[in-house]
Amino acid sequence: MSRKTILHMLTPLRHMSPFDVNMALDAGFDAAIPYTEVGLADIGNLVQDAIFSRPPDAGVATGIFIAGKDAPLALDMLGAAKKAMVPPFEVSVFADPAGSFTTAAAMVAKVEKALIKHHDRGLAGTAVAVFGATGVVGYCTAVIAASEGANVTIVGHDGIDRVADIAASIKERFGVVVEPADGSTDAYKTAIVRATEVVLAAAKAGVQVLSKAQLGSAGGLLVAADVNAVPPAGIEGLKVNANGEPLDATQAVGIGPLSIGNVKYKTQAGLFEQMIKAKKPVVYDFRDAFTLARELAK
C-alpha cells in the first residue's frame, strides 16, 4: 500500500517559512503541516505523537522538518528528535533553519569548486574570512569551511565580543577552531581582506560589507562569494549571477548569490526528495547538505 507522505514542520518562530512549505510540497510531500512557537522541550512529545500514530513501516513516510533562525537551537532540536525515537517507531528528520544549512553548504561547495578550477587547490589550509558571521548563514558557513580544513576567521560587524563567543561555542560543539576578528571599521575590514584568500559574505540582505577599494587592496584574494541578492550587493561590483568570472579590481574570481541560490535550491529540494524516497528513516543536517551541494555545484 502506498502511504501518504506527511511532513510536520516545526519552528520556534511565530511563522513557518512559506519558502520551506513550498519547497516541501514541490518536492513531493502529500502534506506539510506547520507548528509554530515550538520550544526545545516540546520536541520529544511532538515526535512521539507522530511516531506512534502510524505503524513502524510508515515511519519512512513521516518526516519532521526543523526551521527557525538559530543554528545551535535547530541542532539541539534535531538531537532531541533523534532521542525521542522508539525503535522500530522512527521517522525522518531534516533541519535547515532559515535555509542556512543548505545556503551555507551551497556557498562553500561553489567556492571549493572555484578554488579547484581556477587556482588548483581546495579548502584545506586556505585562509577564509566570513562576514556576517553572527547570522545563521554565516555561522554555518564558518563551521563547514573549518570542518574542511580551511583557516577560518569570523568577522563581527559590531566588534569582537560576539564573534569571540561564537568561536568558543563552535569549538565546544564541533571541535573545530575559527578565529574571531573585529570588523567594526573600514580599516579593520581592509586588514582582514588583505590577510585572506577567500571572502565569504553572508551579511544581512541589502547591506554592502566590502567595497571595491577594499577588495582591490587584497593581493592574495583568490575567490569572493556573496549570498545577498538584495541590492546593493554585499561585495561591491560582484554580479548576482557571477559564476567564477574575474572580479573587478582584483585577481580573484567571484561567485554571486544567484549562482549559490541555484545550488541551494537544488540541495534543499534534493534532501526533501531523498527523505521521500528513502527506504529507512533518515536524519539530515548541514553535513548532508554539504555532501549533496558538492555533487550539485558546477
Work out whether 153 is an interface residue with ligand NAP (CB under 6 A).
no
Q: CB of 200: closest distance to ligand NAP in angstroms?
A: 11
Residue whose C-alpha cell is 521521500? 276
| Torsion angles phi and psi, residue 208, rounded to 5 | -80, 125
Residues 208-247 that bind ligand NAP (CB under 6 A): 209, 227-229
Output 176 or 263, the one with its CB closest to ligand NAP: 263
Stretch that binds ligand NAP, among 82-90, 131-139, 186-194, 281-289 (CB under 6 A): 131-139
Is the CB of 89 or the CB of 131 nearer to ligand NAP?
Answer: 131
Name the one range near ligand NAP by CB under 6 A: 50-58, 70-78, 109-117, 127-135: 127-135
Identity of the residue, 80 or 105, whose beta carbon is nearer to ligand NAP in the bound complex: 105
136 binds ligand NAP (CB under 6 A): yes
Q: Which is nearer to ligand NAP, 89 or 94 (CB)?
A: 94
Cell numbers 569551511 label which residue? 145
Is the preceding omega at residue 281 within 30 degrees of 0, hence cis? no
Nearest to 32 by CA among 267, 276, 292, 266: 276
Closer of 93 and 202 to ligand NAP (Cβ): 202
From 58, 160, 191, 207, residue interacting with ligand NAP (rule: CB under 6 A)? 207
Q: Which stretch binds ligand NAP (CB under 6 A): 86-94, 135-143, 168-176, 277-285?
A: 135-143
Find the part of the chain contacting ligand NAP (CB under 6 A) among 24-32, 48-56, 184-192, 200-208: 200-208
For residues 103 and 126, which CB has a smaller minimum distance to ligand NAP in the complex? 103
The alpha-carbon radius of gyration of the chain (Å, integer) is 20
Q: Residue 155, interface with ligand NAP (CB under 6 A)? A: no
**C-alpha grid cell, residue 28:** 513531493
Closer Cβ to ligand NAP, 51 or 154, answer by number: 154
184 is a contact residue toward ligand NAP (CB under 6 A): no
Strand partners, 200: 130, 225
Q: Which of residues 83-112 bind ligand NAP (CB under 6 A)?
A: 98-99, 103
- Name which of 48 and 184 has its Cβ closer to ligand NAP: 184
Q: Let me know how long the chain is.
A: 298
Residues in touch with ligand NAP (CB under 6 A)? 98-99, 103, 132-138, 157-158, 202-205, 207, 209, 227-229, 257, 260-261, 264
